[in-house]
Structure 1
Amino acid sequence: MMPTNHNEPSQQHSAGDITTGFKRCARCGDNKPLSDFLRRTGKRSSQGSRRGTCRSCRAQLKNLEQTAVLTADPRLVTDHSVRNSRSSVHPVAASPQPPTRTLPAPPPVEGPDASVLRPNRQGKIRMRGRTDKGSRWHQEIDLELAVTLVQEHAAVVVNRNTIRRLYSNKAFRRYILARDRHTCFFCGNYGDTIDHLLPRAKGGHTTPVNCVCACNECNQSKADRNLEDFIGDS
């Protein structure tokens, strides 16, 4: 005869909570119906997936953010200790100040204006730069793209037929995260990813003007939506 496992009822009950439409809130720790959780959005979210925080906890935190006055330096919210604030049982003391969503100033760039650019006989502008390992590369791009890269401080004019990219891929990522102090542009929490304000699918480019620091959750939720649409739904 097989020995009786006294843990089986509790395991079945735990599995039943998931299959019957219950979910544990990441903030208060209570098991609540799935209807108490907002749906996840974005390309990577599966069908029917829900956010980790229930509606009541979200409403409570929103009210606290609107009425609380931080006595500490607001720059302290960029500390790495804020990473685990979402999963703590009492995260009120660590909740960051609501972001002002002020676009950062572009870096100062010296050089000729983009108006001096002239395409070659093929109608192209030569662009050159360096890879992450320091190797040189070059390619030909349209005049419109070259002007945009110069105006948005991602490249400088070398001569009327050539521009030079200022950052490699890794250097650009380090620059944006350091510029924004690892603070998510959308929610104010700790961020370690780069998001395009105007999505690349809609014509945006990887430039200091169009890119901001974002947390992983906001980056996935925004997906390819415009900034105005995403902020309106949040």
Structure 2
Amino acid sequence: MGPDPRTAPEELTSGDAPATKRCSRCGESKPLTDFLRRTGRRSGKASRRGACRQCRKLQKADSSAIPIEPPMAERVPEEDDALPLPKKRTKKPLPEPPPRPEGPEASVLRPTREGIIRMRGRTDKGRRWYQETDLETAVTLVLEHAAVVVNRHTIRRIYTNKKFRQYILMRDNYTCHFCGEYGDTIDHLLPRAKGGHTTPVNCVCACHLCNQSKADRSLDDFVSDFDD
């Protein structure tokens, strides 16, 4: 006759849970008291963690023996850790503006009875757009070769956004106006926040670093900060 199934084996407690457990690290069978209890909703009474307490202590001691790098402020810079020098930025002559488009002079512009100047143009997809602006802005756009006079109350923008970007990058030969390295962004010499406009006279090619460093500062401020 086989063993009575109602008889609990030696490794089972009264609650039908194993009295010993094999450690997942050292492989030895040890009492359940040598293992930490599991936590969580699915953990039972006899649910224990895989590694025994002794193996966990050894692992903790080994990890504490690993040297930890000191904070950056306390590190002594080595020869290989030397930071690259900042790019040299100088004030260069401004690029030549494009030839003035044919059309009436900006002096003929007059605001309408509502006190506005009509401005129209085309999107990158060729759709027409229309908006209103003030006399001062309209005159600046015409003088800086970004628009032409249609009549005394209306101007027309020459470039779409895409064509304007291509024109500036190709005019400056994809060279940053500030540091002379490769550039693929457009920067306003006089920031728009200070009254600058997106015109061929006020925009130059810039690298990403110079564009971000300059931010909303004027050209003189940007160059003088670097010289200091």
Shift of 1:9: 3.6
In structure 1, C-alpha distance between the alignment counterparts of 2:114 and 2:152, rounded to whole Å: 14
Shift of 1:21: 4.9
Counterpart residue identity of residue 30, structure 1: D
Instruction: Indicate the residue corresponding to 1:105 in structure 2.
Output: 96
Counterpart residue identity of residue 97, structure 2: P
- Higher percent of residues as helix: 1
- Among 131, 143, 146, the alignment partner of 1:151 is 143
Q: Does 1:230 align with 2:202?
A: no
Instruction: Note the alpha carbon deviations across 1:3-44, whole angstroms, 9 max, x for none.
Output: 7989x846x32xx353x455979xx7325xxxxxxxxxxxxx
Q: Which has the higher contact order (CA 8 A, sep 6+)?
A: 1
Q: Secondary structure at 2:180's aligned position in 1?
A: coil
- Relative to structure 1, is the Cα distance of residues 184 and 161 closer, same or farther in structure 2, using a 3 angstrom cutoff? same
- Relative to structure 1, is the Cα distance of residues 187 and 21 closer, same or farther in structure 2, using a 3 angstrom cutoff? farther
In structure 2, C-alpha distance between the alignment counterparts of 1:155 and 1:5, rounded to whole Å: 72
In structure 1, C-alpha distance between the alignment counterparts of 2:132 and 2:190, rounded to whole Å: 23
Gaps of 5+ in 2: 1-54
Alpha-carbon contact 1:124-1:143 (below 8 Å) kept: yes
Alpha-carbon contact 1:132-1:170 (below 8 Å) kept: yes
- Relative to structure 1, is the Cα distance of residues 136 and 30 closer, same or farther in structure 2, using a 3 angstrom cutoff? same
- Among 152, 158, 168, the alignment partner of 1:166 is 158
- Relative to structure 1, is the Cα distance of residues 187 and 121 closer, same or farther in structure 2, using a 3 angstrom cutoff? same
Instruction: Note the alpha carbon deviations across 1:50-83, whole angstroms, 9 max, x for none.
Output: xx52xxx45xx87xxxxxxxxxxxxxxxxxxxxx
- Relative to structure 1, is the Cα distance of residues 124 and 101 closer, same or farther in structure 2, using a 3 angstrom cutoff? same
Alpha-carbon contact 1:99-1:188 (below 8 Å) kept: no
Shift of 1:202: 0.7
- Relative to structure 1, is the Cα distance of residues 212 and 5 closer, same or farther in structure 2, using a 3 angstrom cutoff? farther
Instruction: Indicate the residue corresponding to 1:30 in structure 2.
Output: 81
Alpha-carbon contact 1:129-1:166 (below 8 Å) kept: yes
Shift of 1:143: 0.9
Q: Secondary structure at 2:196's aligned position in 1?
A: coil
In structure 2, C-alpha distance between the alignment counterparts of 1:209 and 1:228, rounded to whole Å: 16
Q: Sequence identity, in percent?
A: 63
Q: Does 1:131 align with 2:123?
A: yes
Q: TM-score, normalised by structure 2?
A: 0.65
In structure 1, C-alpha distance between the alignment counterparts of 2:166 and 2:194, rounded to whole Å: 25
Q: Secondary structure at 1:129's aligned position in 2?
A: strand
Gaps of 5+ in 1: 32-51, 63-97
Alpha-carbon contact 2:90-2:223 (below 8 Å) kept: no
Which has the higher Rg, Structure 1 or Structure 2? 2
Q: TM-score, normalised by structure 1?
A: 0.63
Q: CA RMSD in A?
A: 2.7
Shift of 1:145: 0.7
In structure 2, C-alpha distance between the alignment counterparts of 1:156 and 1:23, rounded to whole Å: 61
